[in-house]
Every structure is written in C-alpha cells, then in structure tokens.
Amino acid sequence: MCRNSAHNKMSELLNRNTDPLFEKMEKIFAERDAEYKKMEERNRVREEAVKEKENSLKKQEEQFSSREENVRQQEKEIEEKMQMLEEKQRETQEMEKYLQKKRLELEADEQQSLLDNSILREEIRNEKLKQQRLSRELEDKLNDLGYSSDNFDPAILEEKEQKTKEQAQEIQKLKEEIEKWEDKADEWEEKESGFVSQIDTLNKEKAQLWKKLMGVEDESITEKKEDVPGKAEEPVEERISGAEEAVEEVEEVEVVPEEESVYAKEEENLKEAIEMDTPLTAEGFYNYLQEQEVGGVIQLRHAKQGDMVNIAISQIVVTVVFAEEGWFDIKKSIGNNNRKLRRLIRSWNSSQNDLTFKYDTSDNTVTAEGDFDKDQTAEELLRYLDRLLDTYFDTDTGEEE
C-alpha cells in the first residue's frame, strides 16, 4: 500500500517536472513493480503447488484408510472361514464315525442278504419247475381242444401287432401320396379344361366357316329344287374333323295351352299306353310332368339323336333323351372352382357304376349322366330323378351336397 502511494506521489511530481532525472526514477520504479509482480506470481504458483500436494496427500491418506479397512474386513472374513473350517472338520469326524458304524451294519446285512438270496433262488427253482409242469398240462389241454399254443405266443402276437402298425403307416403314406397325386390331377384337369376351351373355340370358328361354305352350296341346291313342290329342305349336319356328330337343328316345341278335349284324349292315350306296357316316350313323360306340376321350365324337343325333355329348376337343368337307349344328364352350375368337389366327384365315380360325374372347369358345371329303362313308367322315372337330385344335388339352395 505504501509502495503504491509513494509511486503515486512520484508520478505526480513527474507530471509536474519532466526532468530526465525524474524519467530515470520512473523507469526504476517500473522495473521494481515488474519484479514485485514476478515475485507475486511465483508465490502464487508455489501456493497452488503446495495446495495440490496437500490434496494429493489427503487422497493417499484416504486410500490408505480404505486399504486398512479392507484388510480388517478380510481378516474378519478369514477368521470366520477358519471357524467354519473347524466346524466342518468336526462334522467330518462325526460323519466318519457314522459311516464306520453304517459299514459294519451293511456288512452284517450283506451276509443276511446272501443267505436270503440263496433261499430265494431255491424257491424260484421250485416255482419254475411248477410253471413248466402247468405249461405242459395247458398245452396238452389245448391240443385236446384243437388249439395251437403258437397262437398265444407273445412274440408272435407282438410281431402281428408290429405288422399291423407298419401296414397302418404304409396306408397313411399312401393316403398322403394319393392326396399329392390328386392335387396334381386337379392341376392337369385345369390345364386340360383350358385346352378343351381353346379347342371348343376353334371348333366353333371352324363350324362358322363350315356353315358359310355350306350356305354357298345350299344356294345352288335350292335353285335346283325350287320346281319340286311339297318337298321340305333337309337339315344340314355339322361335322368337325373327327369330333362327335353335332345335334341337328332342333325344333323347340313351345308349351301351348291345349283344348280340354285334346288334353283328356292324350291323358287317356297315356294311361292306355301304361296299361299296355308300351315303352315310355318323350311326349308321354312331358305330359306326365305337366300333369304333376313339378315346377320349373319344362320343354319338349325333337333332335336327331332322339326326342328329349328338358327340365330347368333354379341352376339345375335335367335333360332326358328318349333315343334307342334311354339316357339322361343332370347339369348344375356352381359358384367357383372347387377342388374338394372334384375329389368328391372322383370318389362318386369310383364307388358306383350307375352314374358318371364330370366337372367342367371351363364353365364351372357339374354333370351327372346315366341310363334309364324305357319300359318303366313316367312315375318311376320321375321318382328316380328326384332321388338323384336329393342325393347329389341340393335343389333348395342350389349348392352341391
């Protein structure tokens, strides 16, 4: 503080007088101030070093204290372990005494067991002799009754049971293999249906071309026959390169209300035909259906392969053909492609021979085909068709059973 005041007074004097002597004094004071600052800085650094050393010593003291505590804890744990070892040693000595006692007891029991086993072996030998005697007596009785003891042999029974299990496993493998082949068959059926659809399209196009060609030929034929009165033009048959013979253009007979006398006469004729046991005709069956009011749309058609009766009920169409051999088909449309249904159809075809079921994937229809005897009555034929519809088709919901 004094140094600062003296310096301040000297600065005031220097400000008043600019003599060189005073400038030299100012320089001396400035150098002294610089030395003071260096000394202060040195003292500050030494104080910080001392403080840092003190902190380090405190940390070391704390570490030594912690180590001392750990050593004390370890000594305590070692002492406890020594006590435990002494306790274990006492227990071990007691266990050795107990085991020695048990060993002596076991040796005595072993001697007794050897004696008991000898007695038991002799008893078992006697029991075996008794069992052999009884077995021979049983075999003699079975032989007297006509039975063989081999049938009751456990080894044979076990072998038969093993064979049965193996057969069951083989059957299961075959079922799985059949399912795989059925899936492949379904895929091939889908591909085949696609090919059939393409063939049908080509056949239709070919038929159209054939009709156009035949139309040109018909014009020339018609010109030649114009002068022949009363002669009707013959229908043209369609044939497509090895395919089935197409049905001749049929004339659909519309259902027209008949006069009461005509209807009564036809009814009498039908009854007379039934009484005379004459073959059933398409017209007779058609009239019987009209009489019974079976419902749906009923049509009588005339075609080259024979007269036929069509019955349309919901999504089901029944076609009864009165050809040389009577046959029918029942066709139904389904909603979508159903693999389960195709498997069911294969099962039906393999389980009975009266009907043939087909599944057409091109238009998603199921068809059942079969024959009928024209010597039966219209009532019997209708009952037979009703039974087929109830068995294989659900006419109420329009779904396959």
Domain of 169? 152-205
In a domain, 174, yes or no: yes
Say whether both 91 and 161 belong to one domain. no
Q: What average pLDDT does the structure give for the chain?
A: 76
Q: Residue 310's domain is classified under what CATH number? A: 3.30.1460.10
Residue range 300-304: mean pLDDT, rounded: 85
In a domain, 224, yes or no: no
Distance CA 376, CA 355 (A): 18
Among 107-121, 271-285, 293-307, the minimum mean pLDDT is found in 271-285
Among 75-84, 181-190, 292-301, 319-328, the minimum mean pLDDT is found in 181-190
Number of neighbouring beta carbons within 10 Å of residue 235: 11
Phi, psi of 20 (to 5 degrees): -60, -30
Distance CA 1, CA 7 (A): 10
Confidence of residue 36 (pLDDT cuts 50, 70, 90): very high
pLDDT higher than 90, residue 174: no
pLDDT higher than 90, residue 276: no
Record the pTM. 0.35
Question: Which residue shows structure tokens 């059933």?
Answer: 280
pLDDT higher than 80, residue 157: no
β-bridge partners, 3: none
Confidence at residue 337, expressed as pLDDT on a 0 to 100 scale: 61
118 vs 30, more confident: 30
Last residue of a domain, one of 81, 116, 148: 148
pLDDT higher than 90, residue 321: yes
Say whether both 17 and 107 belong to one domain. yes
- Where on the phi/psi map is residue 303: left (φ > 0), alpha (ψ -120 to 50), or beta? beta
* Sign of the C-alpha dihedral computed for residues 255, 256, 260 and 262 taken in this order: negative
